[in-house]
Structures are given as C-alpha cells and as structure tokens.
Chain A
Amino acid sequence: DAGVIQSPRHEVTEMGQEVTLRCKPISGHDYLFWYRQTMMRGLELLIYFNNNVPIDDSGMPEDRFSAKMPNASFSTLKIQPSEPRDSAVYFCASSLQGPYGYTFGSGTRLTVV
C-alpha cells in the first residue's frame, strides 16, 4: 500500500481565496482524521470520519472550514475564504477501529499571504 496520500504538498494562496486539500486514506481503514499543526499549538484535531460519516467536527475553527468524505477512498478539507492565520501544515491520517494508532500522510503546507 502507498500509505496515506495528500495533495498538494505545498499551497500558497492569497487571502480570501478558496483552498481545497485532498486526502486518500489507506484502503480498508475505516477512520479518517484531519489535523492541523502549528509551532504554537502543535497537532490539533479538526474533524474525523467513520465509514465516510463525520463523527466529531468540534475542532473545526469556524464556518470557513468544511470537510467531506464522499467515498471510502477520498476526503477533502476546504477553507473559504482563507486568511493568513490559516497558515499551517494540514495532515490527514487514517486508521482501523481500536487502539492501533494512525498512519499519517506527508501533509500539506499551506501559506496564506
């Protein structure tokens, strides 16, 4: 398996633009997680899905953020409109049910100027 695949690796956009981050989880994993990592706050959970259904979105900062999982092999995280404070590395991870830990993707480094 190729692991968790995220795209793009880097994204630079202007304030006010829409940004879409993409993730392909490991086949057979039924949980998918979106995290954001900053120097100040570390890794913060934004939202997670079980069998394509959002379970906990309490970490989504505000209405500008939305996430979807239309099928078991694809998820998106969208920011509209983007702001400079959204600049961070966004990670997607997937796992099986249970205390087995996650497999993380390589992340998308987002810079909003």
Chain B
Amino acid sequence: EDQVTQSPEALRLQEGESSSLNCSYTVSGLRGLFWYRQDPGKGPEFLFTLYSAGEEKEKERLKATLTKKESFLHITAPKPEDSATYLCAVQAVGNEKLTFGTGTRLTIIP
C-alpha cells in the first residue's frame, strides 16, 4: 500500500527565514510525486510534479527536490502570503489515483 508521511505537522517561521518541509514516501513504482498548496476554505492547488530521483523544480520562492525515498519543499525568504498547508502526494505506476500525506501547516510571521 502506498504511504506518504509529511513532517513537521506545523511550522512557524519569521518572514525571510528559510526552511524545508519533508515528504517521505513508499510506493510500488513511482509515476509522479506531487506538491499542492491549500489555503483555508479552498481546494488544493497544484504546485509541482516530480518524476524521478534527482529532479528539481522551482516556482518563485519554492523549490521541490526528489530522492528515491523522500521529497523536500524548500522555501527561501518566505513572505506572509506563503502561509498555507502544503500537501504531498504520490501516484504509482499503472494507477491514476493520488495518495496524500496529511500536510504541513506553514505560518509566516511578519
């Protein structure tokens, strides 16, 4: 069974204080690893897809990296508007469904 574990559950940072969120996963064969952002009262919003170990993707202050066992979402010099819950999910080869972690709730303090 595919499993995704995210840590920490919650993270509070000062504005400009860089950090990383962790996503550990087990999957029978990785088709893709996904990062989503979710704001309160809204549905998850797609950020990145990573397909193979060593791959990196960037968007503004966010950079996602992937190894064979985990993914990191690095946030550089965050701003208050980066406050949200960040969700990680995996998709197995031959399957269309995503298995999600429970998320990291990120709060950036001005």
- What is the interface of chain A, defined by CB distance below 8 A to chain B? 4, 31, 33, 35, 41-43, 45, 48, 50, 55-56, 91, 93, 95, 97, 99-107
Contact = CB atoms under 8 A, between A and B. Distances in A.
Interface string B94-105: 001111111100
B49 interface: yes
- Give the size range of B's interface with the partner: 20 to 34
A63 to B, nearest CB: 22
Contacts of B43: 4, 91, 93, 104-107
A86 B91 CA distance: 26
B49 A43 contact: no
25 contacts: A33-B98, A35-B100, A41-B102, A42-B87, A42-B101, A42-B102, A43-B89, A43-B100, A45-B97, A45-B99, A48-B96, A50-B96, A55-B96, A91-B44, A93-B43, A97-B96, A99-B51, A100-B49, A101-B34, A101-B49, A101-B98, A102-B44, A103-B46, A105-B43, A106-B41
